Amino acid sequence: MDSPTRIFCVTGGTGFLGVAVVRILLSRGHTVRVIVRNADKVLAANPGLEMHLGDILDEKFMERACEGAHGIFHLAGIVEHSRAASANVYRINVDGTRSVMLAAAKHGLKVVLTSTSGTVAVSKTPVVRGDAAGYALGVIDSWPYYDSKREGEEVALKIAAERGVKLVILRPTSIMGPGEVSLPAGKSLEYCS
């Protein structure tokens, strides 16, 4: 028996991971609302694909974009591994996550949040760490990207707990595959939502 078709919102849907997620959702017959900040970043026309021009930082826009949806794949973020990363890294990775989570709470949506293994699986000495080990604060607090992703996770977890949002946090290392065209690891990548 086929699963019923649903509507999913995808932030970061024009990025490498986002395009793959959008393809999978469309191939399963779902409607996909890609949240796009830049009108130049659009995906090829496809039945079931909706492009919503706006910014994840705009809470009212996110609420409207998510109306009637079943869930949100929050994949947007700024990846910058410089210790001198700008405040924009925190705005997108923390405040953007807050906006997405509040929209999810308003509409009772499930959320899949993409973070990074760098929030928990790093240490100054070789060791295997998992989710139960907690955040690697002594290591990541001087790296704005990892610290912003940790703070974004904490915001998401708090809103999920307070408002009953079903939340899954993914913590990949580097994401690579066919069609990958981004800069090498450690270089600044553009926020794509």
For the stretch 96-150, pLDDT in tens is 999 999 999 999 999 999 999 888 888 777 777 777 778 888 888 888 889 999 9
* Residue 185 pLDDT: 47
- The 167-170 sheet, strands edge to edge: 49-53, 31-36, 7-11, 71-74, 110-114, 167-170
At residue 127, the pLDDT reads 76
d(CA 128, CA 159): 29
User: How many domains does the chain divide into?
Assistant: 1
The two three-digit tokens of residue 49, written as one number? 């694909």
Structural domain includes residue 107: yes
Per-residue confidence (pLDDT) for residue 162, from 0 to 100 = 98
- Residue 41 in any domain: the answer is yes
CATH of the domain at 75: 3.40.50.720
Q: Is residue 2 part of a domain?
A: no
In a domain, 58, yes or no: yes
For residue 186, tell me if it sits in a domain: no
- Predicted TM-score (pTM) of the model is 0.86
85: in domain:
yes
Q: Residue 182's pLDDT is what?
A: 52
Residue 21: the pLDDT is: 95
Residues 6+ apart with CB under 8 A from 104: 66, 71, 72, 110, 111, 159, 165
Find all residues with CB under 8 Å of 188, minimum gap 6, and list them: 79, 80, 81, 82
Distances in whole angstroms, Cα of residue 16 to Cα of each of 21, 144, 190: 9, 22, 11
Tell me the β-bridge partners of 74. Answer: 11, 113
Q: Is residue 94 part of a domain?
A: yes
pLDDT at 192: 39
What's the confidence (pLDDT) of residue 42? Answer: 74
What parts of the chain have a pLDDT lower than 70? Answer: 1-3, 179-193
Range of the domain at 106: 7-170
Write the DSSP string, 31-76: EEEEEES-TT--PPP-TTEEEEES-TT-HHHHHHHHTT-SEEEE--
Domain-located, residue 65: yes
